[in-house]
């Protein structure tokens, strides 16, 4: 099986722990093509896919994009262009999705997860809005599955105490990329910051990476290894 993973630094696996590596261990006979790019927004992903066409022989493609359209507003430097409003986000997301659909037999659209582990902060309120918007875009197409990662993370964090730490300095993020590559070191820094699922409020520690891998694996098992199952409305909540 050949599986495309399209997204940002969460998909690339830096900084933080890579959920893709967990999937590679779980499915040694499948090929995972990691198309994650740091800092990617829906607008910059649209530009990338316009310039470089996707292969068209994937069995499954995951599209996980949108968190940087919220997170980058907190950064002192914006590396990639960001949409001005939700209407523009919807337009670019629709176009990106139409580029991805011909590339694979099955497509899973994943909502952004969190911006900070304080679920009530303004950024996470916007993440919930984008998640609802993305779900509305996908719900009328039975060929698309929707994976609500925001809801998954929200349930995981509901009964734990996390700090409100979010890395907003570009140099701090770069230091995490360069000096924290070992999962044990990443988890120690995450714990020092008072976080549960992430290294810095965005990127994954070992718990977060395992949780994402579990959700991706459930979709892989359902769509590629149990084709008799019919997904109503192509959505998984």
Cα–Cα distance, 120 to 118 (Å, whole number): 6
Cα–Cα distance, 10 to 37 (Å, whole number): 8
DSSP structural state of residue 101: G
Residues recorded for the chain:
237
Respond yes or no on whether the N-terminal peptide bond of residue 64 is cis (omega within 30° of 0): no
pLDDT of residue 228: 41
pLDDT of residue 233: 34
Closest C-alpha to 129, from 152, 153, 111? 111
pLDDT of residue 75: 87
Cα–Cα distance, 154 to 110 (Å, whole number): 14
77 by Cβ neighbours in 10 Å (0-12 / 13-18 / 19+) ranks as: exposed
Cα–Cα distance, 217 to 3 (Å, whole number): 11
Task: Please check whether residue 61 is in contact with residue 3, taking contact to mean a CB–CB distance below 8 angstroms.
Answer: yes
Task: For 139-164, write each residue's pLDDT tens digit.
Answer: 988 889 999 999 999 999 999 999 99
Phi, psi of 97 (to 5 degrees): -60, -40
| Helix residue spans in 2-148 (DSSP H) | 9-12, 19-26, 42-51, 68-71, 86-100, 122-138
The DSSP element (H or E) to which 13 belongs, if any, is none
Provide the 3-class DSSP secondary structure of residue 36.
strand
State which residues of the chain have pLDDT below 70: 227-237
Task: For 21-50, write each residue's pLDDT tens digit.
Answer: 999 999 999 999 999 999 999 999 999 999
Which residues 6+ apart lie within 8 Å of 107 measured at CB? 60, 61, 62, 63, 97, 100, 101, 143, 144, 145
Residue-range definition of the domain harbouring residue 99: 2-236
Domains: count for the chain = 1
For position 23, which CATH number holds? 3.40.50.1110
The DSSP element (H or E) to which 146 belongs, if any, is strand 144-147
Q: Tell me how crowded residue 8 is: count the other CB atoms within 10 A of its CB.
A: 26
Task: Please check whether residue 99 is in contact with residue 35, taking contact to mean a CB–CB distance below 8 angstroms.
Answer: no
Phi, psi of 25 (to 5 degrees): -70, -35
Residues 128-163 as b/e (b if ≥16 CB within 10 A, e otherwise) read bebbebbbebbeebeebbbbbbbebbbebbeeeebe
């Amino acid at each position: 099986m050949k599986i495309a993973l399209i997204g940002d630094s969460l998909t690339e696996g830096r900084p933080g722990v890579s959920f893709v590596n967990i999937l590679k261990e779980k499915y040694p006979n499948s090929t995972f093509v990691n198309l994650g790019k740091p800092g990617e927004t829906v607008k910059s992903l649209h530009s990338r896919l316009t310039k470089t066409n996707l292969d068209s022989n994937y069995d499954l493609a995951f599209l996980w994009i949108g968190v940087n359209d919220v997170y980058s507003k907190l950064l002192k430097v914006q590396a990639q262009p960001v949409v001005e409003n939700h209407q523009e986000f919807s337009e670019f997301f629709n176009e990106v999705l139409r580029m991805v659909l011909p590339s694979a037999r099955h497509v899973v659209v994943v909502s952004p997860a969190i911006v900070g582990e304080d679920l009530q902060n303004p950024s996470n309120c916007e993440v919930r809005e984008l998640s609802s918007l993305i779900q509305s875009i996908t719900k009328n197409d039975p060929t698309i599955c929707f994976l609500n990662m925001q809801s998954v993370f929200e349930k995981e964090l509901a009964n734990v105490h996390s700090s409100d730490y979010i890395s907003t300095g570009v140099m701090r993020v770069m230091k995490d990329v360069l000096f924290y590559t070992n999962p044990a070191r990443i988890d120690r820094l995450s714990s020092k910051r008072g976080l549960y699922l992430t290294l810095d409020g965005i990127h994954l520690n070992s718990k977060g990476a395992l949780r994402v891998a579990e959700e991706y694996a459930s979709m892989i098992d359902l769509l590629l290894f149990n084709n008799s199952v019919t997904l109503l409305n192509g959505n998984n909540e």
